[in-house]
């Protein structure tokens, strides 16, 4: 039940005022930049001047002073004084930039995502922002899709845990608390599964696939009390998400109990026409409102057509009141009716942006995210191996080559005004190794394919001459960040030809080579894997990238990242993920012919989900599984399904001489079910820190709910029977116990 003042406000509003609240425009239309001529944009969207004092929210306007001025203007001109809601795309960095979400997923520690989003919220709130379009929690299995960099990865359980942490980091326990902003989870639903990995393309899957894998992370956001949900561009069962009543009303509201507003993605209401399910804007407005889409982003079909639809009796006006009530309730819980500026503060902007505390947090998260994929004894460079004394680099001649050696392209593709001092890879090494001789070669930056640039200049021979006397060579390679993110799908995932040529040439010098990869997706590195003695997947680590990478390579920090998305041998394997469905003809013997396999490539990925090396060595012992007695105090079948009934434990010991973190992972396999089940599924993980020689018992509990699946009859079903319980360091290296569970 809405508060009385909101009910009264809705009754007093004209239909045009209600439709204005249901429309989001970019800030220039509302006077954010008075010097700009809006004649063209106004005509293009057919926006009427009399609508502008009724608009309910803006997209991507920043800055405390400007937003307070914009709010003042709105309150002066709005008949009822309804405050604007300022929304923005603050994904993984505002001014202080953290690692991309795919990298934070690799930390296998939700606390890192929460730490990052707390900082993002503080900086955004100071800049006047009320709501962020994050987290993006789409499950991703195809690295050709550019937006994999915005997701925590390929696993439903890991994504759900990361999503809960991100929502809480943004929102805290009270929206009105200073430094908190509302969170909008996106993109609902299944946007991460476009055919061919091509952005905005068709999505089509069974309901079982959708319910078991793609929906859980969105539900985790709803369970964490996320303020808003954004509908996706794609189809769900052949109907665009923005006009999909089953998705928005049945699943989201009826099944999950979500009560907040739903907003479209950018111009997605218009795109229902492009999809071919609506003939024109009038039909688009009708279908989207009936489906439960409350706010239309950057198009104006609601304002243009709803009055006519209601007058002709083709649209229930009660749906408009429902939508507006949800929007006003969000503004109320944010405290905007009492304080329409919320936390906007020029003083706080100066105090918080890239402050020491925030940069320290960015560094602490950054060192947790890179994944050591290969190490044949060359790393760490410190501890007397190549660097003596106090790790200052005296006597070391270090080679540094490749387009990311001194590049500032370390923030990723989705930051809003992210700032960085000189914290490139080179600068980080220079700070940590002030007495080393660092020789650079072939360091021209790689420009983006988006601008038609396919490669760096071939200066391989020159590089070989400069680097031939180095003790060890670091090759900083990858992809330009503009070639990741939205509208950045790629059919080829190999390094550019001249980067590969450089790596092959460096191998010929007979020097230890460490490949450091900067990318927003898993790349096809198998062709050059033998060129390097060690490989570190760096991702884009944000504003503290240089120091974080230097510390990991030198051994000042111990790599602890684990892959949240599998690396393919080749794009021909895609999709290749650890939790594939079982087949009736699995490979049992390499000589078998009539089985599900490739002739020229393994079925398994090059590097599997959960994989990552450390400078420490951990031993797993005493793996046990026991069935617990079910407490009698739980009532009803749903309550019983949430009660722990299995306990799995293992003792992990650090048998090396270096302290480190280990991501202990729990997987299950349902042996027999009504439907085909995956070969394994992640159901738990714990990141533990162990000193040299230290042991710890790691305990997981499982509920029947965690072992259930979407049944053909509808609803989630737990079936007693045989299960395999697995614990290990990644999805391939596990110990297994088969049990019969009640």
pLDDT for the residue numbered 46? 82
Looking at 31-35, 329-333, 382-386, which range is the least confident one?
Answer: 31-35
Residue 597, domain member (yes or no): no
User: Final residue of a domain: which of 560, 587, 602?
Assistant: 560
User: Residue 277 domain-assigned?
Assistant: yes
Task: Tell me the C-alpha distance between 338 and 581, whole Å.
Answer: 53
Mean pLDDT to the nearest integer, 413-436: 84
User: Do 247 and 388 belong together in one domain?
Assistant: no
* CATH code of residue 717: 2.60.40.10
Q: What is the longest distance spanned by two Cα atoms in the chain?
A: 84
Q: What residues are annotated to the active site?
A: 265
Q: How many domains does the chain have?
A: 3
Whether residue 127 contacts residue 64, with contact meaning beta carbons closer than 8 Å, is answered with yes
Is 8 part of a structural domain of the chain? no
From 514, 541, 560, the end of a domain falls on 560
What pLDDT is attached to residue 487?
95
Lowest-confidence segment of 367-376, 591-600, 694-703 by average pLDDT: 591-600
Q: How far is CA 401 from the centre of its chain?
A: 30
* CA proximity to 655, closest of 624, 615, 623, 610: 615
CATH code: domain of residue 295: 3.20.20.300
Shared domain check, 332 and 417: no
301 and 408 housed in the same domain? no
C-beta separation of 710 from 673 below 8 A: no
- Within this chain, do residues 209 and 297 fall inside the same structural domain, yes or no? yes
**Residue 440, domain CATH:** 3.40.50.1700
Q: How far is CA 239 from CA 101, 229, 277, 471, 664, in A?
A: 29, 18, 7, 59, 40
Identify whether 132 is part of a domain: yes
Query: What pLDDT, on a 0 to 100 scale, did the predictor assign at position 389?
Result: 53
* Lowest-pLDDT choice from 3-7, 570-574, 590-594: 590-594
- Whether 387 and 287 map to the same domain: the answer is no
Q: Structure tokens of 255?
A: 């099944």
Q: Is residue 360 in some structural domain? A: no
Average pLDDT over residues 448-457: 93
Residues 6 or more apart whose Cβ sits within 8 Å of residue 686 = 663, 664, 698, 700
For a pLDDT cut of 70, what percent of the chain falls above it? 96
Statement to judge: residues 167 and 213 lie in one domain: yes
Mean pLDDT of 99-121: 98
- 336 and 482 inside one domain: no
> Does 498 reside within a domain?
yes
Residues 488-520 have pLDDT tens digits of 999 999 999 999 999 999 999 999 999 999 999
Domain shared by 332 and 384, yes or no: no
User: Does some domain include residue 39?
Assistant: no
Higher pLDDT, 422 or 126: 126
pLDDT band at 390 (very low <50, low <70, confident <90, very high): low
Q: Looking at residue 369, what is its pLDDT?
A: 98
d(CA 371, CA 390): 26
Residues 126 and 259 in one domain: yes
Mean pLDDT of 603-621: 98
The pLDDT of residue 209 is above 90: yes
The DSSP bridge partners found for residue 565 are: none
The verdict on 498 and 425 lying in the same domain is yes
Helices (H), 334-388: 346-352, 356-366
C-alpha span between 174 and 115 (Å, rounded): 17
Written as six digits, the tokens of 482 are 């503009």
Q: What share of the chain is helix, strand, coil (3-state, %, to 5)?
A: 35, 20, 45
Which one is predicted more confidently, 487 or 1? 487
Query: What is the C-alpha to C-alpha distance for residues 726 and 504, in angstroms, rounded to an integer?
Result: 39
43, part of any domain? no
Q: If you average pLDDT over every residue of the chain, what do you get?
A: 94
Which range marks the domain in which residue 139 is found?
24-30+54-350
Q: Is residue 416 pLDDT above 90, yes or no?
A: no
Q: Of the residues 523, 541, 560, which one is the last residue of a structural domain?
A: 560
Exposure letters 24-55 (e unless 16+ CB within 10 A, then b): bbbbebbbbeeeeebeeeeeebebeeebbbbb
Q: Is the pLDDT of residue 65 over 90?
A: yes
Enter the tokens of residue 665: 């992972």
CA 29 to chain centre: 31
| Burial environment of residue 587 by CB neighbours within 10 A (0 to 12, 13 to 18, 19 or more) | middle
Q: Do 529 and 413 fall into the same domain?
A: yes
Q: How far is CA 718 from CA 472, 645, 647, 705, 709, in A?
A: 55, 12, 17, 7, 7
Q: What is the pLDDT of residues 160-190, one digit of tens each?
A: 999 999 999 999 999 999 999 999 999 999 9
Task: Look at residues 707, 567, 723, 554 and name the one whose alpha carbon lies nearest to residue 157.
Answer: 707
Question: Are 345 and 374 part of one and the same domain?
Answer: no
């Amino acid at each position: 039940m809405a508060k009385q003042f909101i009910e009264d406000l809705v009754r007093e509003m004209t239909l045009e005022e209600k439709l204005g609240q249901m429309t989001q425009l970019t800030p220039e239309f509302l006077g954010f930049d008075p010097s700009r001529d809006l004649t063209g944009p106004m005509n293009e969207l057919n926006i009427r001047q009399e609508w502008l004092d009724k608009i309910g929210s803006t997209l991507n306007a920043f800055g405390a002073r400007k937003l307070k001025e914009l709010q003042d203007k709105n309150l002066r001109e709005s008949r009822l004084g309804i405050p604007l809601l300022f929304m923005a795309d603050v994904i993984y960095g505002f001014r202080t930039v953290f690692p991309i979400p795919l990298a934070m997923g690799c930390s296998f520690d939700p606390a890192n995502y929460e730490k990052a989003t707390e900082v993002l919220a503080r900086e955004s709130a100071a800049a006047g922002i009320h709501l962020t379009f994050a987290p993006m929690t789409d499950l991703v299995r195809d690295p050709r899709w550019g937006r994999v960099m915005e997701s925590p990865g390929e696993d439903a359980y890991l994504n759900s845990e990361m999503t809960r942490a991100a929502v809480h980091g943004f929102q805290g326990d009270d929206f009105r608390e200073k430094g908190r902003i509302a969170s909008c989870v996106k993109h609902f639903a299944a946007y991460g599964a476009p055919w061919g990995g091509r952005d905005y393309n068709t999505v089509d899957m069974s309901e079982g696939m959708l319910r078991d894998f793609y929906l859980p992370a969105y539900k985790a956001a709803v369970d964490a009390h996320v303020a808003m949900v954004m509908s996706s561009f794609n189809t769900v069962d052949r109907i665009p998400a923005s006009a999909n009543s089953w998705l928005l009303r049945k699943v989201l509201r009826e099944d999950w109990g979500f009560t907040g507003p739903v907003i479209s993605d950018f111009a997605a209401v218009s795109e229902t026409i492009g999809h071919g399910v609506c003939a024109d804007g009038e039909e688009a407005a009708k279908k989207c409102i009936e489906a439960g889409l409350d706010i239309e982003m950057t198009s104006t079909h609601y304002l243009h057509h709803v009055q006519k639809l209601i007058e002709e009796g083709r649209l229930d006006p009660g749906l408009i009141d429902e939508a507006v009530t949800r929007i006003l309730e969000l503004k109320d819980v944010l405290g905007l009716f009492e304080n329409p500026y919320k936390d906007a503060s020029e003083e706080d902007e100066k105090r918080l942006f890239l402050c020491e505390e925030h940069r320290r947090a960015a560094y602490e998260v950054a060192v947790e995210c890179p994944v050591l994929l290969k190490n044949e004894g060359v790393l760490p460079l410190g501890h007397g191996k190549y660097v003596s004394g106090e790790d200052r680099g005296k006597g070391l001649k270090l080679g540094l080559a490749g387009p990311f050696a001194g590049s500032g392209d370390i923030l990723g593709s989705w930051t809003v005004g992210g700032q960085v001092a000189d914290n490139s890879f080179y600068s980080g090494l220079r700070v940590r190794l002030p007495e080393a001789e660092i020789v650079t070669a072939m360091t021209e930056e790689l420009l983006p394919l988006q601008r038609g640039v396919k490669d760096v200049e071939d200066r391989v021979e020159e590089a070989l001459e400069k680097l031939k006397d180095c003790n060890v060579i670091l090759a900083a390679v990858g992809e330009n960040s503009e070639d990741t993110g939205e509208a950045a799908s790629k059919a080829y995932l190999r390094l550019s030809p001249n980067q590969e040529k450089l790596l092959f040439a460096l191998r010929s010098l007979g020097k230890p080579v460490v490949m450091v990869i900067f990318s927003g997706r898993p790349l096809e590195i198998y062709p050059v894997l033998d060129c390097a003695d060690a490989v570190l997947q760096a991702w884009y680590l944000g504003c503290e990238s240089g120091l974080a990478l230097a510390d990991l390579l030198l051994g000042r920090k111990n790599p602890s990242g684990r892959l949240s998305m599998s690396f393919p041998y080749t794009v021909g394997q895609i999709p290749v993920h650890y939790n594939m469905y079982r087949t009736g003809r699995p490979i049992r013997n390499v000589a078998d012919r009539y089985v599900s396999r490739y002739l020229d490539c393994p079925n398994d990925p090059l590097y599997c989900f959960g994989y990552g090396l450390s400078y420490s060595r951990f031993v797993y012992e005493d793996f046990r599984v026991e069935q617990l007695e079910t407490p009698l105090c739980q009532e009803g079948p749903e309550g019983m399904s949430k009660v722990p009934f299995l306990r799995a434990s293992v003792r992990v010991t650090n048998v090396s001489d270096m302290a480190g973190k280990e991501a202990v992972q729990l997987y299950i396999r349902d042996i027999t079910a009504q439907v085909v089940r995956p070969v394994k599924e992640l159901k738990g993980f714990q990141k533990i820190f162990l000193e040299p020689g230290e042991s710890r018992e790691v305990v997981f509990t499982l509920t029947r709910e965690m072992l259930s699946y979407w049944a053909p009859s509808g609803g989630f079903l737990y079936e007693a029977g045989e299960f395999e319980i697995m614990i290990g360091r990644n999805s391939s290296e596990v110990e297994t116990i088969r049990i019969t569970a009640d």
